[in-house]
Amino acid sequence: MSGNALEPPPSTQGAPCEPRPCRLGSLSCCHSKGGPCITCFLFVHRRRPDVITTTDWLAPVIWEGTFNRRVLGKHYRNRNLTMGLAVFAIGRIADQYLERFLESAKKHFMTGYRVVFYITVDDLDKMPDVDPGPLQTFQVFTLREEIWWQDFNLLRMRNLGEHIVQHIQGEVDFLFSMATNQIFQSDVGVETLGASVAQLHAWWYFKSTKDFPYERRRRSAAYIPYGKGDFYYDSAFVGGTPQQVLNLIEEYLKGVLQDKQNGLNSSYENHLNKYFFLNKPTKLLSPEYNWDVTFYPPPQVQFIKVAQHPKRRPWP
């Protein structure tokens, strides 16, 4: 693991940073006495005037055309990074999508970097005959049959949190959790790296904030008042440093417990949206990184990086 994955170049380390527009067209880059920071060179926002490329809190929104692959590769290549990708596949989900997910991830996820795939299945016989590629390793875990009946997302996130504490936090620099019914269509690389990474929802990104399906019951831990909120985030794809992912999981589990005590039951996605409302993500992925194939892509979605396919109930 690298201890300096997020450090800026030496010319800007320790220098005060002032967010302001830069000559490259970015609204989120910062300048210091040592010159413009790395953000200016990695993310060039002027190429996509048709979409939101920077949030109000100056986090970049990643679309095709907003980053420089060559400069990104040069910046990260020698930083000795290890990436983690966690996927939770039980019942019919494993039968239907796991092999396609792994084959596509082998080909397109963080190619050229070390990647550890954390794969949880309910039965080792469900693990497809897929071998890891160069620089890739598979860690496969099984789930106890007696806890299948629990809420799928509660089970998934609690399981991931336990693995982060037990070993993942010492094995990878960045960790992503994805749904099994997501199939990579093209390369997803270091442009997605950040301390806390959220995925914009493909459908709700193009809708008004007032229509977002946030939790509106005041007694729920996931409650977001009308008139509040920034974006609607998709729970299928989340990432960041292992500690930041663990923070999200812990707050989600606290929220579930609070709701249970109040006789309520809100969805994982509602809790995730409340978490990112209070704890702003440092990077947002555009709908290109999780496009729902049941919808025809609008002009803004120029490249589908990951396609989300319909899924049935995850267990028989």
Which domains are assigned to the chain? 10-76 (no CATH), 82-308 (3.90.550.10)
Res 206: pLDDT: 81
Say what the pLDDT of residue 52 is. 92
Query: What per-residue confidence (pLDDT) applies to 290?
Result: 96
Provide the pLDDT for residue 7: 42
Please report, in range form, the residues annotated as the binding site.
88-90, 201, 269, 292
> Does the active-site annotation cover 269?
yes
Q: What is the pLDDT of residue 48?
A: 84
Position 22 scores a pLDDT of 39
Q: Which residues are annotated as a binding site for UDP-N-acetyl-alpha-D-galactosamine?
A: 88-90
**22-44 pLDDT, tens digit each:** 333 333 344 333 433 445 445 55
Cα–Cα nearest to 302, from 68, 109, 64, 67: 64
User: Of these residues, 171, 191, 215, 269, which one is catalytic?
Assistant: 269
What pLDDT does residue 38 have? 47
Taking only the tens place, the pLDDT of each residue in 272-296 is: 999 999 999 999 999 999 999 988 9
Res 282: pLDDT: 98
pLDDT at 236: 94
Nearest of 204, 214, 227, 206 to residue 275 by alpha carbon: 214
**Exposure string over 123-158, b if 16+ CB within 10 A, otherwise e:** eeebbeebeeeeebeeeeeebeeeeeeeebbebbbb
- Whole-model pTM? 0.86
Note the pLDDT tens digit of each residue in 133-174: 999 999 999 987 656 556 889 999 999 999 999 999 999 999
Q: pLDDT below 70 — which residues of the chain?
A: 1-46, 145-150, 311-316
